[in-house]
Amino acid sequence: MFLFRRNTPRLSVDEARVRTGGEGPEAVLLDVREGPEWRAGHAPGAVHAPLTGLAAGSALPASAQGRPLVVICRSGHRSRQAAKLLVERGAEAVDVQGGMNAWAAAGFPVVDERGNSGSIA
69-72: strand order across its sheet: 47-48, 28-31, 69-72, 93-95
Q: Is the dihedral of CA 62, 68, 74, 76 positive or negative?
A: positive
Phi–psi pair at 46, nearest 5 degrees: -70, 155
Catalytic residue among 11, 71, 73, 82: 73
- Count Cα neighbours of 114 within 13 Å in the Cβ-side half-sphere: 2
73 is annotated as an active-site residue: yes
Residues designated catalytic? 73
